[in-house]
A and B are shown apart, each in its own frame.
Chain A
Amino acid sequence: MTAKTRADNAKRAHTIPARVDLLLIADMVEPRSRVLDVGCGDGTLLRLLAEEKEVDARGIELSQRGVNDCVAKGLSVIQGDADTDLAGYPDKAFDYVILSQTLQATRQPRKVLEQMLRIGRHAIVSFPNFGHWRIRVQVAFGGHMPLTRNLSCAWYDTPNIHFCTIQDFIALVREIDARIERGVALDHTGVPLGFSEPWIWNLFGEQGVFRLTRKR
């Protein structure tokens, strides 16, 4: 995947109107903490966190335009890549490391998640659920790769190379010896699902938002 397609993806993700997941993520962050937003786009979430929660907000963003937007807002953002640039941070440098709508576009999601849990006391991840029933229906009965409002790129053109379902994600969290502290699944309108049964989330959640921490 080229840097450009990833940047395009990040831009698209950040232009979805009223990103409910951002508000949910903000809700999972303690005031006046240290936060790193990986793939921070134009800095919308960082600014929200800086203004509403008075956090020490830092970011990593791939696109030059995104970084420039952030710097102009007075945010501390470095141009970089989730796959390569987390390694430079010391252990427990942050209270929260956030990865919003970017996990599926990383080359090594497992390593990225492990790095996040190394440099942060908590990791907060939001991602599109590939187990949503619309997607299942498209693959099962349409016989083609799914196209939805949030996943609008053709298979040959998508920056998203590592899709997972909510169930897959939960399995990965177990595998890397982390613990889910909080989790929310959002339906297609962005409203949190009332039920908290994992299979319901996996079928009806269009995206998942999880806060993780290391087991010990």
Chain B
Amino acid sequence: MIGSFVHFVSASKASGLREVDAPNSLVVHFGADRPLQMDAGVSLSPLTIAYQTYGELNANKSNAILVCHALTGDQHVANKHPITGKAGWWHNMVGPGRPIDTNRYYVIASNVVGGCMGTTGPASLNPATGRPYGLDLPVVTIKDMVHAQAMLIDHLGIDMLFCIVGGSMGGMQVLQWVASFPERVYAAMPIATAARHSSQNIAFHEVGRQAVMADPDWRQGRYLEEGVIPTKGLAVARMAAHITYLSDEALQSKFGRKLQDRSAPTFSFDADFQIENYLRYQGTSFVDRFDANSYLYVTRACDYFDLAADYGGSLAHAFNGCKSRFCVVSFNSDWLYPTQASRAIVHALNAGGASVSFVDIETDRGHDAFLLETPEFIATSRGFLDAAARARGIAPAKSRAI
């Protein structure tokens, strides 16, 4: 019954919030002398950024790769996740011998501003009030996230990143990086992304936010002080969003109309179908690791993203004179950020004269394909990075001691 499902969700502790103030990550604090100037017209200070690194920075600091995470991802790219205990979200791509080879590159991944894994976000303590920010945190944009990352990269003493890689919202950060700091990006891989959020994209996000805010436990965003968590709303938001990450074919082949542990429908509103059970599981497991207000902020950041708008409406102008090498990747069954959205980026890069490769990977796995073991995608990434590293003069991976 939906009642028991909701009860189960409510009963689960949002243990993820323990990472907000004391993350299992490296952290850097920027004080009042280094505020983050935000798009909303205010400055954020103090600012904490939580991040992970893998591999070693070489002597001339030419081998750094910044990995930008997607909407509900985090900095735990290639290590065991501190909350879920699962492998890092991009372990297929990042690690020894992987395309982003940690024996060759120095890999940096930070939690975005507005996140809930240690970087300043709505669950963080607002020093001005002594309470969690809640909705007092200014609305965060993709540009704000990127400017905060640039502060981290400065802190690490790196002038130019060898490559910036990211999928989905991470891809938006890649594009924003190139537009904001073209001289600091040698190569860029925007994956399964778009240069602006479409009306449909905004619509899906709004459904998710309304689900969160309709939960009586949301308490106008002040739930942490009141000792409750809007788990029901957040779980529903995740369920709706999760559908958009998969293709119709993938859902059909994985679940079809198969029933869950029963041979006939029960004529009730219980999770008769496997797909229902699967989505409920996705919803409940999500609330264990993610903050509801944070979900509002990161979805809003994507909605506000329209890179061309800052350049007189012309995306090509955003990339004018850009010297970075690009590899744009889309997946043909991704209907969230469809191939056409990547083509628009490619056309703008071509118009700006940039060096760009573009691959539309054939897969039935939808938007999530960039997170999965998709052989053609892995091969493309490896080829692009290897070639760019040769051009950049980065030494091949050290053979490990036997």
Q: Which residues of A are at the interface with B, using a C-beta cutoff of 8 A? A: 56, 58, 64, 67-68, 70-80, 88-90, 93
Contacts and interface: CB of A to CB of B under 8 A. Distances in A.
B358 A68 contact: no
Contacts of B351: 88-90
Given A71-B384, A73-B387, A76-B325, A64 B362 contact: yes
B108 to A, nearest CB: 24
Q: Chain B interface mostly helix, strand, loop or mixed?
A: helix
A80 B358 CA distance: 8
Contacts of B387: 71-75
B359 A64 contact: yes
Q: Chain A interface mostly helix, strand, loop or mixed?
A: mixed
Interface in B351-402: 351, 353, 355-362, 376, 379-380, 382-384, 386-388, 390-391
Nearest to A69: B383
A64 B361 contact: yes
Contacts, number: 69
B359 A68 contact: yes
Interface of B: 325, 327-328, 343, 346-347, 350-351, 353, 355-362, 376, 379-380, 382-384, 386-388, 390-391
| Best-surrounded residue of B346, B356, B358, B388 (most CB of chain A within 10 A) | B358
Contacts of B328: 78
A80 B384 CA distance: 18
Nearest to B316: A90
Contacts of B343: 80
Contacts of A58: 355
Given A72-B386, A89-B351, 15 more contacts: A68-B359, A68-B379, A70-B357, A71-B384, A72-B382, A72-B383, A73-B387, A74-B386, A74-B391, A78-B328, A78-B346, A79-B359, A80-B343, A88-B350, A89-B350
A67 B382 contact: no
Contacts of B356: 76, 78
A79 B325 CA distance: 16
| Best-surrounded residue of B357, B380, B384, B388 (most CB of chain A within 10 A) | B357
B359 A71 contact: yes
A89 B351 CA distance: 5
A184 B380 CA distance: 37
20 contacts: A64-B376, A68-B379, A68-B383, A71-B380, A71-B387, A72-B382, A72-B384, A72-B387, A73-B383, A73-B387, A74-B383, A74-B390, A75-B357, A75-B387, A76-B355, A77-B358, A78-B356, A79-B360, A88-B351, A93-B350
A93 B386 CA distance: 27
B330 to A, nearest CB: 9
A154 to B, nearest CB: 27
Contacts of A67: 357-359, 380
B95 to A, nearest CB: 20
Given A58-B355, A80-B358, A68 B376 contact: yes
A81 to B, nearest CB: 11
B347 A88 contact: yes
B311 to A, nearest CB: 16
A93 B383 contact: no
A2 to B, nearest CB: 13
* The 7 A-B residue pairs with the shortest CB-CB distance in the complex, in nearest-first order: A74-B387, A72-B383, A88-B347, A78-B358, A71-B383, A76-B355, A71-B357
Contacts of B376: 64, 68
Contact of A78 (B353, B357, B386): B357
Contacts of A79: 358-360
Contacts of B361: 64
B346 to A, nearest CB: 6
Nearest to B339: A79
Nearest to A76: B355
B380 to A, nearest CB: 5
A80 to B, nearest CB: 7
Contacts of A89: 350-351
A74 B388 contact: yes
Nearest to A58: B355
A81 B362 CA distance: 16
Nearest to A78: B358
Contacts of B359: 64, 67-68, 71, 79
B384 A93 contact: no
